[in-house]
């Protein structure tokens, strides 16, 4: 069952009417379903059944501590891309031996933090990073377990801003340079090369790019082993798409079955880094309608959530379904816009939307991934509350920011 559904004509998250959350927590507010998180995680887990594997949740998709704690308790690992995400993962209770650290620009402080937590491995993206790890591990008496993140040169067929497997991308090591970098690593005393990693993009809706890129990565595993490297892990990345509108998206089972022969033949433990697939459908953004207005022939629904709360429509031209909290509302052609002082501030543009009036609340769906995690204080707007629902219970899991939060840490020097 869809965890966001109408019951008695009222939109619910699990067993909680969203009207209740809007009244109690206010708007804007992100609402997450525990059941949806669990269902999606278990679906990914089951897809890899029969293979030695670890599902790592991509923390960048949704870093709320309650969401992370829920997934850690289910057995998930964590895919992180910053020291801050490492801090969150540790606070949420993830096993450090289930944490992989990616990212093209890890600082010395972040590398030291990962070494200190004894994480499973670093996904190394450049020769310079490998050299820094060797130096820091030697200095602090540690061993750095690493995978080489290769750029397989595969077009994932997604938005250019979230494509990471193209040859022009800043991410990863070109496949034809990986072997020479691995040979350099042989001379390092404190670095253990144990894996190969790839991640070709996000919101991927076709299996073919995965098949091509995984075959290239698996071939590198074989070549490295032939040269004496103990390669134990093959990380296929994440990026499996979800249905925002009318996309035909493969299921985790369909994806894994397409690459299962290659994965099984690799003899490696398989890692994957799903974020959007697990968290995206598990969240909705509640926004209150402030005004209705017209400008020429165009109609606007002005809401209290804007691009600072959910930037995906402005940044990617992304589509999110918009639902009324009360079923059966009339439709109107309009733009759903926010209060931010930018012409690009919209959540939906020139669409058939619920004919909402001042004081109504709308739900922007499939907003559990890259929603709050990309939110900002632009226009000095406090970030929204976050709420987690489990069955008939709900709780605020991040308090709404207030004006004093906006200037916390700011100082006015004595010479002013």
Indicate which residues carry an active-site annotation. Answer: 341
Is 316 labeled as ligand-binding? yes
Is 342 labeled as ligand-binding? yes
Adjacent-strand bridge partners of 148: 124, 196
Contact indicator for 220, 150 with CB cutoff of 8 Å: yes
Is 312 labeled as ligand-binding? yes
Is 116 labeled as ligand-binding? no
Residue for token pair 């993140």: 149
Is 273 labeled as ligand-binding? yes
Is 292 labeled as ligand-binding? no
User: What is the torsional sign of CA 312, 317, 320, 322?
Assistant: positive
Residue for token pair 């990380």: 235
- Cα separation of 203 and 207, whole Å? 12
Is 359 labeled as ligand-binding? no
Is 317 labeled as ligand-binding? no
Annotated binding site: 239, 273-276, 312, 316, 342, 370
Annotated binding site for substrate: 276, 312, 316, 342, 370
Annotated binding site for pyridoxal 5'-phosphate: 239, 273-276, 370
């Amino acid at each position: 069952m869809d965890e966001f559904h109408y019951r008695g004509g009222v939109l619910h998250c699990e067993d909680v009417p969203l009207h209740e959350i809007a009244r109690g927590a206010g708007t804007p507010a992100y609402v997450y379903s525990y059941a949806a998180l669990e269902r999606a995680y278990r679906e990914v887990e089951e897809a890899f059944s029969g293979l030695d594997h670890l599902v790592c949740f991509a923390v960048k998709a949704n870093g709320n501590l309650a969401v992370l704690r829920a997934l850690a308790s289910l057995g998930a690992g964590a895919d992180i891309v910053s020291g801050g995400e490492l801090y969150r993962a540790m606070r949420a209770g993830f096993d450090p031996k289930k944490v992989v650290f990616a990212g093209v620009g890890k600082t010395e402080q972040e590398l030291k933090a990962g070494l200190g937590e004894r994480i499973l491995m670093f996904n190394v993206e450049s020769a310079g990073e490998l050299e820094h790890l060797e130096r820091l591990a030697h200095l602090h008496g540690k061993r750095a377990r690493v995978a080489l993140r290769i750029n397989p040169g595969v077009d994932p067929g997604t938005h250019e801003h979230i494509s990471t497997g193209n040859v022009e991308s800043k991410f990863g090591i070109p496949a034809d340079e990986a072997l020479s970098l691995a040979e350099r690593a042989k001379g390092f005393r404190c670095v253990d090369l144990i894996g190969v990693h790839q991640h070709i993009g996000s919101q991927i809706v076709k299996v073919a790019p995965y098949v091509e890129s995984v075959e290239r990565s698996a071939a590198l595993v074989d070549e490295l082993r032939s040269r004496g490297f103990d390669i134990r892990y093959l990380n296929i990345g994440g990026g499996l798409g979800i249905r925002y509108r009318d996309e035909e998206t493969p299921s985790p089972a369909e994806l894994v079955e397409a690459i299962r022969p290659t994965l099984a033949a690799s003899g490696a433990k398989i890692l994957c880094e799903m974020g959007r697939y697990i968290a995206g459908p598990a969240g909705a953004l509640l926004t209150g309608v402030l005004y209705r207005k017209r400008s020429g022939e165009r109609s606007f629904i002005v809401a209290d959530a804007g691009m600072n709360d959910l930037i995906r429509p402005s940044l990617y031209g992304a589509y999110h379904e918009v639902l009324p909290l009360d079923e059966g509302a009339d439709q109107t052609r309009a733009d759903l816009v926010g209060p931010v002082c930018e012409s690009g501030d919209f959540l939906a543009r020139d669409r058939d939307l619920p004919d909402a009036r001042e004081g109504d609340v709308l739900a922007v769906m499939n907003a559990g991934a890259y929603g709050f995690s990309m939110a900002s204080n632009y226009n000095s707007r406090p970030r929204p509350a976050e709420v987690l629902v489990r069955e008939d219970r709900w709780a605020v899991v991040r308090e709404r920011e207030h004006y004093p939060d906006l200037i916390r840490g700011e100082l006015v020097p004595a010479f002013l």
